[in-house]
Amino acid sequence: MKELLYAIVAGLVDDKDAIDITEDEPDETGMVVFHLHVAEEDMGRVIGKQGRIAKAIRTIMRSGAARNGMDKVTVEIG
């Protein structure tokens, strides 16, 4: 799943070396949280107008998680 998130974000940002993705262990409800950090100047590209790109990234990740048998996935951008 980290590879999917990296592939999506790498296509959006200019500074690919600044992409940092960490994954939390599933909590008691089975939720897996991916923490995405990008360069400050690329933050707007990842979030998009009114958060539309961020919402689309989360939707794609949930879909990919369902295909891989994972229950709940979310992406925190910061």
Asked if the model's pLDDT at residue 78 lies above 90, the reply is no
pTM of the predicted model as reported, rounded to 2 decimal places: 0.89
Q: What is the mean pLDDT of residues 32-57?
A: 96
Q: Please state, rounded to an integer, the average pLDDT across all residues of the chain.
A: 94
Q: Which of 48, 40, 50 is nearest to 19 (CA)?
A: 40
Whole-number pLDDT of residue 76: 95
CA angle 42, 18, 71 (to 5 degrees): 85
In the CATH hierarchy, which fold is given to the domain comprising 2-77? GMP Synthetase; Chain A, domain 3 (3.30.300)
Map out the domains of the chain as residue ranges.
2-77
- For the stretch 13-43, pLDDT in tens is 999 999 999 999 998 888 999 999 999 999 9
> Cβ(58)–Cβ(66) under 8 Å?
no
